[in-house]
Amino acid sequence: MASTHDHDNKKAAETLGEMIRKFGISVGEIFDDPEVKEKAKEFAESVVDAAARVGQSKVKTEDVRARFRNVGKAAQTLGNSLDKHFKSGEEAKT
């Protein structure tokens, strides 16, 4: 019987994978590219597998949370940069 900790790790891995899958699909929709959407799905599946392995290792929780915060900051930076880039392109047209 699996422990609650193992179940929680699996659930967290699945949640992370789903978030990454949705992100990839959204990017694929922006570019209207089915291949990007498929790659996002494959990447999300690999993330679920990797996250499950990390959850079972001796990695400290705070260390993992710090890494996820860094990923979140990088994603936010990317979003802000893209927004600024496309806004400046719109301004150039007017």
Strand ranges, E, within the chain: none
The mean-pLDDT minimum among 33-37, 44-48, 49-53, 78-82 falls in: 49-53
Per residue in 54-89, pLDDT tens? 666 655 677 777 888 888 898 889 889 988 888 876
Asked if pLDDT for residue 19 goes beyond 70, the answer is yes
pTM: 0.55
Higher per-residue confidence, 84 vs 52: 84
Residue type at position 1: M
Q: What is the DSSP letter of 58?
A: T
